[in-house]
A = this chain, B = another copy of it.
Amino acid sequence: MPKDMLDKLLRPLKADIQNVEAIFQNILSEMEEPLRSMLKTSLRGGKRLRPALVILAGRLFKTPRLKVHLLAAALEVLHSATLIHDDLVDNATLRRGRKTIHTVWPIGATVLAGDYLLAQSVCLLAQLKNPGVLKILAETLHTMSAGEIEYHYSLKNRKRREVYFRSINAKTASLFAGAMEMVGLLSHVEKNTVINLRNFGHEFGIAFQVVDDVLDLIGDEKSLGKPALSDLEGGIITLPVICYLERGNDDRIINKILAGKGNPKDSIRATEMIRKSGAIEDALTEARAHARKSKVALAHLPSGKYRQLLYDLVDYVVDRQH
């Protein structure tokens, strides 16, 4: 799928996305310095995938647009907040082609800026006056922070498939699942439909993250907006690496890099070995399986042009190059 495919896909939502962007502008305009300078790049840019999913799901049920835009904005703000703290935790240097906040500002300011955006996210959601939606927000943030702590500071065996999936559920899929569940609550749909929405979001999120992890291995810094191979060098073992190891391949270079003893040549060599082993294809097969499951859940939701766009988004997510 070509690079501009996402823009083309989301064209029917242009007016809605602009409304969501206007909410971000409004948030930024209310900030004092230095907060505004710190956060303006956090709230600008990004694929806006979460807002797009929320808007499309809202269309399925003809949910009032104002509510949908608030929800879409709140979740993108929450996503931005967690990225700020996670980049600090992972010591990531680049995000969307720009320096991460903690590499430019003091750590304390970075922590507080993330807290500020978390508060903003709750502020936006509180406007919906739906306690169920806020409960899901809290549970999702709960899952995300507990999962990150577990992965970084407790889990011993990161080479296990179930550890990987547990981690990407907490990190990524829980927010997609929660987002879709919130649309269900806002739209007053029946319980089974909420479950299908949640399942769709969960499987979409898993597929999205697996592909993200593949791109970290096979992409380049320019198209990724962050250094390639940052996961492995940061001690994070993603699915393609797990697939490579499961095939019984030589694990010495991988272990050397994970131990922080690798040099740039080792990283290039490891990537070559993983690519040649067929592990990339194994991981993508797994991503496609989750994409299929997300489509199965979608099939239970109201048909029409917006459901078709959601199917197309699923295809985009597994076929994208960045």
- A residues apposed to B, CB below 8 Å: 31-35, 38, 82, 85, 88-91, 105-109, 111-116, 118-120, 122-123, 125-131, 134-135, 137-139, 141-142, 144-146, 148-150, 152-154
Contacts and interface: CB of A to CB of B under 8 A. Distances in A.
Contact of A126 (B89, B113, B138): B138
A149 B120 CA distance: 15
B32 A153 contact: no
Given A113-B149, A118-B141, 15 more contacts: A34-B149, A85-B112, A85-B115, A88-B108, A89-B112, A90-B108, A105-B153, A113-B145, A116-B142, A119-B142, A120-B138, A122-B137, A123-B138, A125-B134, A126-B131
A243 to B, nearest CB: 27
Q: Specify which of A115, A122, A128 lies most central, judged by the most chain B CB atoms within 10 Å of its CB.
A: A115
Contacts of A150: 32, 35
B85 A152 contact: no
Contacts of A152: 106, 108-109, 112
Contact of A154 (B34, B107, B130): B34
A132 to B, nearest CB: 8
Q: Can you tell how many copies of this chain the complex includes? A: 2
A113 to B, nearest CB: 7
Closest 5 CB pairs of A and B: A89-B108, A122-B138, A119-B141, A126-B135, A129-B131
A92 to B, nearest CB: 11
Nearest to A105: B153
A135 B123 contact: yes
Contacts of A116: 142, 145-146, 149
22 contacts: A32-B154, A33-B154, A34-B149, A34-B153, A35-B149, A82-B115, A85-B112, A88-B108, A89-B109, A91-B108, A105-B153, A108-B152, A113-B149, A115-B141, A115-B144, A119-B138, A119-B145, A120-B138, A125-B134, A126-B138, A127-B135, A134-B134
Contacts of A107: 88, 107
Contacts of A137: 122
Contacts of A118: 115, 118, 141
